[in-house]
Chains A and B, each alone.
Chain A
Amino acid sequence: MKLFFVFMAALLFAAAADAAPVIKEQSRITFVSRQMGVPVEGSFKRFDAEVEFDPKETKKSRASITIYLDSIDAGSEEASIEIKRKPWFDVKNHPKAEFKSASLSFFGPGRYRVSGNMTIKGRTRPAFSDFTVKERGGYRVFEGKFTLKRLEFAIGEGAWSDIGTVADEVDVSYVFSVPVQSANK
């Protein structure tokens, strides 16, 4: 039994060394959709993100993000209920959205582009995002955005696929904070 705990602790430690989970209180994922030309802000309250970042070795860096879609705030009560339903995210059958990085490229001092695969509603599509990295008070802060085309993932089917009402493009922004120490590993 004792051995088991030691084994579990070792496993946990190994996982922690592998990739650093972000500090949730200092991280966020928000988005802006457009309804009839009106920008509407929303956010995801629950997500897991693990970032392994080496400023010198982009090949060693990686990120994986999991968003729990039932934690969505789509800007209004009505919209937040609707967007979990079948024509939109179909949260019952597809509770998570995932991004897994495949490569990282260096753009300039503190500027990078991450490319990888995005899986939403059972559909996996290539995706990339430009972001900046800053060190702030012992944390490494990743800040970036990308444009998601909702129809590529069948988010908003049937009558909702009309992009004249709800635009195809959704601007997603994120901030992830990781303690520098563990991020340095």
Chain B
Amino acid sequence: MSKLETGVNATANDCYTLTAVALHWTTAVLVISAAVLGIYMHELPFSPTKLRLYSYHKWLGVTIFLLALIRLAWRSAHPAPALPSNMPSWEKNAARGGHAALYAFMLCVPLIGWVMSSAHGFQTVYLGVLPIPDLIGKDKELAEVLEKVHAAFSLSFMALVALHAAAALKHHFIDRDNVLRRMLGLRGLP
């Protein structure tokens, strides 16, 4: 109520919307699952389980990609709350850059995976029912290159996720600000 009256000021823009919070944590669970699955399934001997896990991994990737688009659309209509004013500007820039990079990874890691799958000659069929067209045809050499790119990007993504989590914990336990709390859907500290 007071938010409507005060308009866009610090207090009004202090929280993430519940939608943004839900989307963030859903993405977190899916991204970590996809990464663990990706590392685990890779070394498995050829088996029905392996085929299943590869499909699940691809479905996770497609979902993460779609969620990233939804989050960007939501974010453009509901801007993220401002970073604490006492943060040094290099930290603010690092946070903004890091978040942008996380979105870039959420979009490009699934994209590379999809093209890589096509290059291997396997179309991606979302949830086993929705065929996603192949952007490119079967190409073994390209597939091997894309495999390396997909792996390198995924590992960089995971490193950035770890940094992202570490930064959130630093905000919570060292800076004692509301950066982590507001992403947990809790009210900001006074």
A78 surroundings in chain B (CB, below 8 A): 46
Stretch from A36-44, A136-144, A171-179 forming part of the interface with B: A36-44
* In the complex, residue of chain A having the shortest beta-carbon distance to the beta carbon of B122: A38
B contacts with A, residue count (CB < 8 A): 16
B123 surroundings in chain A (CB, below 8 A): 38-39
The reply to whether A165 and B125 contact each other, CB–CB distance below 8 Å, is no
The reply to whether B125 and A36 contact each other, CB–CB distance below 8 Å, is yes
A contacts with B, residue count (CB < 8 A): 18
B54 surroundings in chain A (CB, below 8 A): 36
- Taken residue by residue from 8 to 42, chain A's Cβ proximity to chain B (1 for < 8 Å, 0 otherwise) reads as 00000000000000000000000000011111110
The reply to whether B48 and A162 contact each other, CB–CB distance below 8 Å, is yes
Q: 8 Å CB contacts to A: which residues of B36-65?
A: 46-49, 51-52, 54-55
Compute how far the CA of A166 lies from the CA of B52 in the bound complex, rounded to whole angstroms: 10
Among B49, B54, B125, residue most surrounded by chain A Cβ atoms (within 10 Å): B125
Q: A36-B128, A37-B129, A38-B55 are in contact. Are A159 and B48 (CB under 8 A)?
A: yes
User: Shortest CB–CB separation between residue B175 and chain A, in angstroms?
Assistant: 46
> A76 on the interface (CB 8 Å rule)?
yes
A79 surroundings in chain B (CB, below 8 A): 46
Residue numbers of B with Cβ under 8 A of A are: 46-49, 51-52, 54-55, 120-125, 128-129
Besides the known contacts A38-B123, A40-B122, A41-B121, 16 further A-B residue pairs in the complex with CB atoms under 8 A apart: A36-B52, A36-B125, A37-B55, A37-B125, A38-B55, A38-B128, A40-B121, A75-B122, A78-B46, A82-B46, A159-B49, A160-B48, A162-B48, A165-B48, A165-B52, A166-B48
A-B contact pairs, 8 of them (CB 8 A): A36-B51, A36-B125, A38-B123, A39-B123, A78-B46, A81-B46, A82-B46, A165-B52
